Amino acid sequence: MPAGGSALWYAVERTLSIHGIRTRRRAIFCWAAALATCALGTATGDPTATAGLGYFGSVVLFAGSAWGRHR
């Protein structure tokens, strides 16, 4: 979910925890986060895969960039 959606979720619910989803509103925030994540992953992964990297190359590219950010 983009940062704005996470900020809204936190502002409304005062938590980003997925372990205490007991209300409809929290469930909607959780599903919106899951759908946005899948949509953004597809929107960035598919073009790199079809632009010549292939699906394995795209996985390596994005995993490497995520790994590099957390070191």
User: Which one-letter DSSP state was computed for residue 70?
Assistant: T
Question: What are the structural domain ranges in the chain?
Answer: 3-69
Residue 1 neighbours by CB distance under 10 Å:
19
In this predicted structure, the answer to whether residue 1 has a pLDDT above a threshold of 60 is no
Note the pLDDT tens digit of each residue in 55-67: 898 888 888 887 7
- Which sign, positive or negative, has the C-alpha torsion 7, 17, 22, 14? negative
For 13-56, the pLDDT digits (tens) are 888 777 878 889 888 888 888 888 878 878 888 888 888 888 89
**Residue 71 pLDDT greater than 70, yes or no:** no
Task: Tell me: pLDDT of 4 over 60.
Answer: yes
Measure the CA–CA gap between 38 and 36, rounded to whole angstroms: 5
Q: pTM of whole model > 0.75?
A: no
3-class state of residue 36 by DSSP:
helix
